[in-house]
């Protein structure tokens, strides 16, 4: 397929490339990790649509040629909308309603366009821990002395294990896994979820942490607290103390993971634009762990190995 005749759109952190065709559709092209980037991507979108959550619909699939066509949702992400709309509370209220809706999804498997079953994975503590290691494997060696790497990895990994053991909410819900305003499009007066291929069943606080402590969008503590209260108000049956406990743990460990992912994207994939968000990720981590007994041991090790200068480094 000759993609040169189509307009290449800004991509995401995956191996997919997006092109706008002349048929009111978006071409999603991927040679690497095709199953995840094309098959699972469409399967989760289909699951969302079947459960009343707006997501891009498949128009045609050309899997053997490494691409699918989906509906064109335009260019207005919710992220862009925030820059034009001062009433963020109103928008977040709508987003929380979507979050409540996806957390009610019970679908465990979806028939893909390849006529095979796609099983939505479980987000186990072991998988969460494995993802946290991205911080240790990619970011840590890049910023501390070689002589300290082995010891630092060992000590911080123990902190990670101990924190995951402190998660309290056992009920598993549908988790988008990258639930933030950059992954939401505003189209025909509706909000659509995109980049959903990594969905799992996991902790109810995970997507809330993705939304509130979003590294791509700087928000005040007051607004963060308001969004949390919105969610609590709409989920009165949840134990608020357990929710806050899990929210804080998952927020901190998720943003450490993101620092690792952004470093990997810059190092391995030459996508260096993500590195500029690392200082804000560190700021959110610091805000969550400061004066919080949950993170006492982690805070000691982070302060020991990562100076303020390292955290604020402006990467080129």
CA-based torsion, 184, 186, 191, 195: positive or negative: negative
pLDDT at 286: 97
Judge contact between 174 and 102, C-beta under 8 A.
Answer: yes
Q: Whole-angstrom Cα distance, residue 186 to residue 205?
A: 24
User: For residue 244, with 0-12 CB atoms within 10 Å meaning exposed, 13-18 middle and 19 or more buried, which class applies?
Assistant: middle
Q: What is the pLDDT of residues 34-73, one digit of tens each?
A: 998 999 999 999 999 999 999 999 999 999 999 999 999 9
Q: Please check whether residue 240 is in contact with residue 217, taking contact to mean a CB–CB distance below 8 angstroms.
A: no
The backbone region for 270, taken as left when phi is positive above 0, alpha when psi lies in -120 to 50, beta otherwise, is left
User: Which of 178, 220, 182, 176 lies closest to 78, judged by CA?
Assistant: 182
Would strands 7-8 and 58-62 be described as parallel, antiparallel, or unpaired? unpaired
Query: CA 208, CA 202: separation in Å to the nearest integer?
Result: 12
**Closest listed residue to residue 101, CA positions, set 66, 64, 49:** 49
Residue 20 burial (10 A CB sphere; 0-12, 13-18, 19+): middle
pLDDT value at residue 80: 86
Instruction: Indicate the SS3 state at residue 62.
Output: strand
DSSP secondary structure string for all residues of 154-184: HHHHHHHHHHHHT-----EEEE-SS-SGGGE
pLDDT tens column, 143-188: 999 999 999 999 999 999 999 999 999 999 999 999 999 999 999 9
Closest Cα partner for 143 from 269, 268, 254, 309? 309
Q: If you write DSSP's letter for every residue of 76-103 in order, what string do you get? A: -BHHHHHHH-S-HHHHHHHHHHHHHHHT
- Taking only the tens of pLDDT, the chain with its 316 residues reads 666 677 778 766 567 889 888 778 999 999 888 998 999 999 999 999 999 999 999 999 999 999 999 999 998 889 888 877 667 888 999 999 999 999 999 999 999 999 999 999 999 989 999 999 999 999 999 999 999 999 999 999 999 999 999 999 999 999 999 999 999 999 999 999 999 999 999 999 999 999 999 999 999 999 999 999 999 999 989 999 999 999 999 999 999 999 999 999 999 988 888 999 999 999 999 999 999 999 999 999 999 999 999 999 877 6
- H or E element that contains 149: helix 146-165
pTM of the model: 0.94
Domains and their CATH numbers in the chain: 75-311 (3.90.1200.10)
């Amino acid at each position: 397929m000759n993609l040169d005749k189509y307009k290449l759109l800004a991509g995401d952190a995956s191996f997919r490339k997006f092109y706008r065709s002349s048929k009111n559709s978006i071409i999603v092209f991927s040679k690497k990790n095709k199953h995840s980037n094309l098959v699972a991507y469409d399967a989760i979108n289909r699951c969302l649509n079947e459960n009343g959550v707006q997501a891009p619909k498949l128009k045609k699939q050309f899997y053997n040629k490494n691409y699918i066509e989906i509906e064109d949702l335009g260019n207005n992400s919710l992220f862009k909308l925030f820059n034009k709309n001062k009433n963020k509370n109103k928008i977040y209220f709508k987003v929380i309603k979507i979050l409540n809706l996806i957390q009610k999804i019970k679908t465990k498997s979806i028939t893909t366009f390849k006529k095979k079953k796609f099983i939505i994975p479980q987000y186990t503590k072991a998988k969460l821990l494995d993802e946290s290691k991205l911080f240790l494997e990619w970011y840590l060696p890049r910023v501390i002395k070689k002589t300290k790497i082995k010891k630092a990895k060992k000590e911080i990994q123990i902190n990670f294990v101990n924190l995951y053991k402190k998660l309290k909410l056992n009920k598993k819900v549908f988790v988008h896994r990258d639930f933030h305003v950059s992954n939401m499009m505003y189209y025909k007066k509706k909000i659509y979820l995109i980049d959903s291929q990594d969905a799992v069943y996991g902790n109810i606080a995970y997507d809330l942490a993705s939304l509130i402590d979003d590294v791509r969008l700087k928000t005040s503590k007051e607004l963060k607290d308001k969004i949390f209260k919105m969610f609590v108000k709409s989920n009165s049956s949840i134990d608020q103390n357990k929710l806050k406990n899990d929210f804080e743990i998952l927020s901190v460990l998720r943003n450490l993971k993101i620092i690792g992912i952004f470093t990997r994207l810059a190092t391995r994939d030459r996508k260096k634009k993500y590195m500029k968000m690392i200082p804000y990720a560190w700021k959110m981590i610091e805000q969550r762990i400061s004066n919080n007994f949950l993170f006492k041991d982690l805070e000691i090790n982070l302060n020991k190995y990562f100076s303020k200068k390292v955290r604020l480094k402006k990467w080129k």
